[in-house]
Structures are given as C-alpha cells and as structure tokens.
Amino acid sequence: MHTAANDPFGLPPDDESALLSLLQQVHELRSQLESPDELISPRQADLSATQRAILVREQAAIEIVYGYLRRALPGLMCRLFGPEVLSQREDATVRFTEMLHNFLLKILEKRPDELWRAQTARQFRQWASVANANLMRDVLRRERRGDEILKEQLAPLLSARSQHFEKTAHRPLDETVLEQIELWIGSDLEVNRQMGLVLRYRYLDGLPYREIAHMLGIAEATVHKRRQAALEWLRLHRC
C-alpha cells in the first residue's frame, strides 16, 4: 500500500500496513457482536473472547497512532501551521502538544468513529483530515472564550494557516467559514460535498491539488473548479 510522500498525515509504510490490518481485524471481530459499535472497557466483567481480542487490537492500533504522533509531531505542526511554529517558546509548544494529544484521545476513545471503520489508506487519511478540521474549530472556539493558552500559542498558529486562505478568499479562515465547509461536506448534493472537501483538504490539510483529486476520485481540473466555486460563494456571502 502506497502513501503519497507529500501526504501530511502519512504513516511509514510498515506502520500504515500494520494499522490498517488491525483496523480490519477489529472490523471483522466487531461484526460478530450483537452491537458492533458498543463501547468495550477492560474493566467490564465477563468479557467474551471476542471482546478481549477487540481490546487487544484496538490498543495496538492506538499505540501505532501515538507512536507516530510522538515521532512526527514537529513536522506535522510545521505542515499544519507553517514553519514559524518551531520558533515558538518551548513551554507553550509543550502545552500545545498536550492539548493535541488530549484532542486525539477523545476521538480514539469514541465509538463509533471513522478511524475504527477505516479499511484503506484513503479512509485513514480522510479520518485524519476530519480530526484536523475539528481541531481548528476547537482552537477558534477556545480563543473566543478567552483561553489564555490559545491566545498565547494556538491562535497565532491558526493565523499562520489562515494566511494562505485569506490571500485567495479575501476573508479570514474563521469559525463561520469552517462551519460552512462542514455544511457543504454534509450536503446530499455531490457538487457541494466536493466543494467542502476541496477547501478542507487544501486550506486545512495543505494537500496539493493532485492528491486532492486522488482523494476525491475526480479530475484535477474539477478540483480547481470546485475550489473556485466555493471561494466565490464565500466572497458573496460574507457574514
């Protein structure tokens, strides 16, 4: 299985293969349960052999994700927020790392969740993209509430990511824009869905157009067309 070299959420090939194998095994084991999406806790009494096997594989999957995150976090932060993140104060970066870990932990512990349903590299990258978009919204909401850590560290990082969007759209990448992107993605109209995903993959994840076309299964020219339509709508509907 090949992961694009420029994919900001790419795992090393061995880790990716191991993770997807574990997710496939979890999927198959959970299909044997009466309630496939049930929460399973190691503290539950009378766990069945199937439930114990699921716990073992889910824990192994989490260890791969977190092991990768610990190794790749500096580069991941650079790709998400720009190279200036590495010049931020060490103590603030540590707090940011802790917040990011906590955010991902919430996703990993939630059932059902798209991570656990991923059975291909593309599905895993799509899950990572959703996680990134949710983190961006969380940053904006905390900033609005006056969270001191966000004012000190995360807001400037989000601002760095927003600069690319603002140069093109002539408006900031704010919570209103993020909510509109998610509305498009949840639309029953495929054109609207593609518009939202193109903006997410381009401006939140920083993916190149060729990779976006691959993720969506459409021509690169169509990616540009959807991007232009979405940006034009946002220019005409400023809130």
DSSP class of 154: I
What is the pLDDT, as a whole number, of residue 137?
66
Within-domain flag for 189: yes
What is the pLDDT, as a whole number, of residue 167?
82
Within-domain flag for 72: no
92 touches 47 (CB < 8 A) = no
What distance in Å separates the CA atoms of residue 130 and residue 140, rounded to the nearest whole number? 16
Within-domain flag for 204: yes
What is the pLDDT, as a whole number, of residue 150?
47
Number of other CB atoms surrounding residue 175 within 10 Å: 15
> Shortest CA distance to 116 belongs to which of 20, 205, 200?
20
What distance in Å separates the CA atoms of residue 215 and residue 126, rounded to the nearest whole number? 8
Within-domain flag for 215: yes
What is the pLDDT, as a whole number, of residue 190?
95
Range of the domain at 211: 174-239
The structural domain count of the chain equals: 1
Within-domain flag for 167: no
- What is this structure's pTM? 0.56
107 touches 141 (CB < 8 A) = no
> Shortest CA distance to 164 belongs to which of 176, 173, 153, 154?
173
29 touches 22 (CB < 8 A) = no
Within-domain flag for 48: no
Within-domain flag for 136: no
pLDDT tens string for the chain (239 positions)?
333 444 545 567 788 888 889 989 998 999 999 988 888 888 888 899 999 999 999 889 888 877 766 665 565 556 555 566 555 555 555 655 665 666 666 666 666 667 777 777 777 777 777 776 776 666 666 555 555 544 455 555 556 567 778 888 888 887 788 889 989 998 999 999 999 999 988 887 777 898 899 889 999 999 999 999 999 999 888 75
Number of other CB atoms surrounding residue 27 within 10 Å: 16
Please give the single-letter amino acid code of residue 210. Answer: R
Within-domain flag for 198: yes
Question: For position 188, which CATH number holds?
Answer: 1.10.10.10
What is the pLDDT, as a whole number, of residue 172?
80
Whose structure tokens read 């500096």? 74
Considering just the CA atoms, what is the radius of gyration of the chain in Å? 19
The three-point CA angle 108-111-114 to 5° equals 70
What is the pLDDT, as a whole number, of residue 8?
47
> Shortest CA distance to 36 belongs to which of 108, 119, 111, 107?
111
